[in-house]
Chains A and B, each alone.
Chain A
Amino acid sequence: MPTRVRESRGQEMALTVAVAIVIVLLSLLPMLRLIKEIVAPGGTLSTIAVEAGLRSPATWIATWHTLVVGIGGTLLAVLSGTLVAVLVSLTDIRGRGALVLCYVMPLMIAPQVTALAWLQLFGPASPFLKLFGAAPPLGTKNPLYSTSGIILLLGVQYGPLVFLLVRAGLRKLPRELVEAARAGGANWFTVLVTIVLPLMTPSIMAAAALAFVSCVGNFGIPAFLGIPANYLVLPTLIYQKLAGGGPAVLGETAFLSVLIGVIAMAGILAQEVMSRRRDYRISSTSLPAEPYELGGWRPVVQAGMWLLILLVLVLPLFGLVLTSLVPGYGIALTGKTATLDNYRFVLFEHDAARRAFFNSFWLSIAAAFFAVIVAVPVGYLIAWGKQRWVRLLNLSVELPYALPGVVLAIASLLLFLRPIPLTGIQLYNTVWIILYAYLARFLVLALRPTISGYHQIDRALEEAAQVAGAGLFTRMRTIVFPLVAPAAVAGGLLIFMTALSELTVSALLWSSGSETIGVVMFSFEQGGDSNYAAAMSVITVAVTFGLMLVTNLLAPHLPSGVLPWRD
């Protein structure tokens, strides 16, 4: 029966090929295009682009600034995130779930919204300070328009990121290691310093690397806080060059974006090196340690934690809401002046803002939908596939997200500046180029939870369907998809929330007619219309929070750790 024996797995091949094509298009192609621009601009090998970039003093200043705010922001994030993680995980503090939810929330808020909220809180026009008559006189420089302001906000933004990773590490800490040290006579603080924190080195290092990559790639915060003070970092330098010079300066910006990529990679490499210096492997698994009893200190620590929440979450959002209710710059908020006009204006009157809401919503929905559809088969091949090369897929999907968004934006520009060969389709200057970049950048956000979903499903469930006669596509539809759907959909919702007020990528790719919420918010703020920007921010934050609550309904069906804000 040679024909039956040869009856090979056509559907499996089709799936693998389709997945490979998607990955190549979304991950490898833009990266390769970017590298080509650096190594061989115009098609021939040369170092002109690199040399030009290296000669410009602006490059060096921006690089220095990037390193300063990157390292400063990382330090602040690591210190605050680790402290909160230790207090929340290892002590008998009360209201843990609510604390985690509130502390992680800034992570779900777009950086430029954070920036805007803080600016409104402390600026001379602050309706909040005016409530107490404490606002500095108009015309005073906002204290956040500075290096330390940028570092502070980066720390606030990415502290939760560190918190999540360190907390995950602390949860795996076996209680025997702690108990052995306490039995050996060490008090709690000594245990923390000599046992817990050293064992958490890999988690803290990984968190620091991630925070560093996020800080150096961040656009929203240095754009809102740095540009007015003429304090440029690499992402904002790229933005200014492109805004001023258009496609002509693409080669130059390509060099700058690779420079950011290199700095980010250096951070990741440093983490690898640091983590390998000692053996931190924890071999046993057991229950987590008993929480340390704070005793009389508990109310104090709790009060401190909620004060922190008040500072990093409640006050800025409060300031944002106040600003969105004020009719104009510098006017004090009273029962008489409060108005919803700003909301009416951005939702119904301002053309670009209206378009932006429309664009951002459908872009986010499309990116989320696509990512869920793609994540299921890609996750299938990565988690359950037998071919080893498939595991490389994982890496190449991670890349566009691991690298700062500016890098991908420039790569997309290079890729689609000219019409697509053979078809003549022009993506440049349309909304489609933004969609492409979103798909490439955010796919991994849906893929990660999907893969962890696969790891929690018994493979026999699929094999049972296979022996029942179901082909691969039937199994995918009737068995695999329903089982991993909750995880994949949760990933899709994360994408939606992230993409909705995204700025980094769209700031470089937008064109008239394809504005996004982030872009319009940014231009309102740059034009001095903070009230409109605040109104838009409040709307997106409200949508995000609403979605977080809805997503919580999925939680019982999800692998743990998929929803970052769930304790």
Chain B
Amino acid sequence: MARLTLDHVTKSFADFDAVKDVSIDVADGEFLAVLGPSGCGKTTLLRLVAGFEKVSSGEIRIGSDVVSNSGGGVAPEKRRVGIVFQNYALWPHMTVAENIGYSLKVARLDKAVARQKVEDALALVNLQGLGERRPANLSGGQRQRVALARCLVAAPSLVLFDEPLANLDVHLRASMEDEFAAFHKRSGTTIVYITHDQAEAMALADRIAVMDHGRLAQLATPRELYHEPANEMVASFISQGILLPADVLSGEEAGHCRVRVLGTELVVRCRLGERPRTGAKICCRSADLEASADVSGFDGLVKRVVYQGGAARIEFTPTAGPGLTLHFEQPDPVLLESGSQARLRVKSGWLIPAAGTSS
């Protein structure tokens, strides 16, 4: 077990930066998810930690050891890192037991001890008795577990998961998710978990690092990420948040401030120390929007109504902001019709901090 520190890590390929100035401190035993759209640099980040790529600048430390800096790095085989690969990467020419015992064999461990460890690892992932099978004769979930056992058996200081559930069907995903959580609890290993699936990240991680175009967009707990996104990218990426232009009218008081959005005034949550400013944005979720006849709302056009069973998804363009399209759900009975005028009310929201400020 060890903590992992990324200190201003940058990785440049020929003409672009795959990872730009990322600093993350993963505590000992923490479960960190790295979340982002494809091409955001999350896989490069994993490969940097594993040592398959060299950093262009910055430093990576595992425990107190520097494993990568611009001068070079510790070879992957010396990092004591475990990886669960997206496609499992089980060696087809070896049995399950040989796959799991490989690192022990490489370390020239006593054969009897190694056999016992392999048995223990198989038991840990509920695959007792399958040691003599070939990977080709296992189901997807079983292969995933073999991959897990294989990386555990060497007692790595750090386990990296590279989108481990991407190749599994939906049912298996849920059960593997539970299994990963249980495994983390049991082993107490430091885990870095790469994924593009928000639900997966939210369900598993202590903290989530959201990546965007190679930069770290926000590093926070799942709750904070949802309720208090640090910037527009995170706000719109997480649960499809809706961004609305706003002017801040009053300074922060008890975590709230007064803003004007599309001509109406409302109170939203905000960071400590916010001051009045213009050109700000608030983030709200579709649950924060409701159709109302209330005076405090804003008018607009219902562009589309898509009935989805029990509720309808409404696309709405406010009169005061013709370039905006707001999506929200209206539960049955659905009264709005496409092409009609309606009035919308924002119940609550979060004031996105001004760019350049940090928490």
> Could you list which residues of chain A lie within 8 angstroms of chain B, going by C-beta atoms?
1-2, 4-9, 458, 460-461, 463-471, 474, 478-479, 482-483
15 contacts between A and B (CB under 8 A): A2-B71, A4-B65, A5-B74, A7-B72, A458-B89, A463-B83, A465-B91, A465-B102, A466-B75, A467-B81, A468-B150, A468-B151, A469-B77, A479-B91, A483-B92
Q: Does B307 contact A (CB under 8 A)?
A: no
Contacts of B79 in A (CB 8 A): 467
Beyond A4-B65, A7-B72, A468-B77, 7 additional pairs, beta carbon < 8 A: A7-B75, A460-B85, A463-B85, A467-B83, A469-B107, A471-B77, A479-B91
Q: Which of B117-168 contact A (CB under 8 A)?
A: 150-151, 154, 156
**Which A residues lie within 8 Å of B106 (CB)?**
465, 468-470, 474, 478
User: Is B103 part of the binding interface, using a Cβ–Cβ cutoff of 8 Å?
Assistant: yes
Using known A-B contacts A7-B74, A7-B75, determine if residue A470 contacts B65 with beta carbons closer than 8 Å.
no
B217 contacts partner chain A, Cβ-Cβ < 8 Å: no
What residues of chain A lie closer than 8 Å to B67, measured between beta carbons?
A: 4-5
The CA of A461 and the CA of B67, in the complex, are separated in Å by: 22
Q: How far in angstroms is the closest Cβ of chain A from B16? A: 17
Are A464 and B83 interface neighbours, CB within 8 A?
yes
Task: State how many angstroms separate the Cβ of A405 from the closest Cβ of chain B.
Answer: 37
Cβ of B72 and Cβ of A5 under 8 Å apart?
Answer: yes
A483→B93 contact, CB < 8 A: yes
CB proximity to A under 8 Å, residues B86-102: 86-87, 89-93, 102
CA distance A366 to B12 in the complex (A): 45
> Given contacts A4-B65, A5-B66, A7-B74, is CB(A468)–CB(B154) below 8 Å?
yes
Contact of A460 among B68, B87, B102, B151 (CB under 8 A): B87
Query: Would A466 and B87 be within 8 Å (CB), given that A1-B65, A5-B72 are in contact?
Result: no
Q: Cβ of A8: which chain B residues have Cβ within 8 Å of it?
A: 72
Residues in B whose Cβ lies below 8 Å from that of A478: 102, 105-106
If over half of A's interface residues share one DSSP class (helix, strand or loop), that class is named, otherwise mixed; here it is helix
Q: Does B80 contact A (CB under 8 A)?
A: yes
B353 at the interface (CB under 8 A from A): no
Asked if residues A464 and B154 are in contact (CB atoms below 8 Å), the reply is no
Using a Cβ cutoff of 8 Å, how many contacts connect chains A and B?
89
B71 touches A469 (CB 8 A): no
Mostly, the B contact residues are mixed
Q: How far, in angstroms, from A230 to B268 measured CA to CA in the complex?
A: 101
A463 vs B75: C-alpha distance when bound (angstroms): 11
**Which B residues lie within 8 Å of A6 (CB)?**
71-72
Residues of B near any A CB (own CB < 8 A): 50, 52, 65-69, 71-83, 85-87, 89-93, 102-103, 105-107, 150-151, 154, 156
Residue on B nearest A12 in the bound complex, by CB: B75
Flag if B71 contacts A463 (CB, 8 Å). Answer: no
Q: Are A463 and B154 touching (Cβ within 8 A)?
A: no
Which residues of the partner chain A approach B93 to less than 8 Å between Cβ atoms? Answer: 482-483
Verify A467–B74 contact, CB threshold 8 A: no
Given contacts A469-B77, A469-B103, A469-B106, contact A5 B89 (CB under 8 A): no
A8 to B90, CA, bound (A): 27
Is the beta-carbon distance between A5 and B85 smaller than 8 angstroms? no
For residue B83, which residues in chain A have a CB less than 8 angstroms away from its CB?
463-464, 467
- Least Cβ–Cβ distance between B127 and chain A, in angstroms: 18
Specify which chain B residues have a CB less than 8 angstroms from the CB of A482 in the assembled complex.
93
Minimum C-beta distance from B94 to chain A (A): 8
- Chain B residue contacts of A467, Cβ below 8 A: 50, 76-77, 79, 81-83, 151, 156
Residues in chain B near residue A461, CB distance under 8 A:
89-91
Assuming the contacts A6-B71, A463-B85, A482-B93, asked whether A469 and B78 have C-beta atoms less than 8 A apart, the reply is yes
Known interface pairs A460-B87, A465-B102, A468-B103. Does A5 touch B73 (Cβ–Cβ under 8 Å)? Answer: yes
Please report the C-alpha to C-alpha distance between residue A460 and residue B90 in the assembled complex, in whole angstroms: 9
- Closest 8 A-B residue pairs measured CB to CB? A468-B103, A460-B89, A464-B89, A466-B76, A470-B106, A460-B85, A482-B93, A467-B83
Among residues of B, the one whose C-beta sits closest to the C-beta of A462 is: B89
* Nearest B-chain residue to A4, judged by Cβ: B74
- Pair A463/B72 contact, Cβ less than 8 Å: no
Interface centre among B79, B87, B89, B156 (most CB of A within 10 A): B89
**Residue from B52, B87, B102 with most neighbouring chain A CB atoms (10 Å):** B102
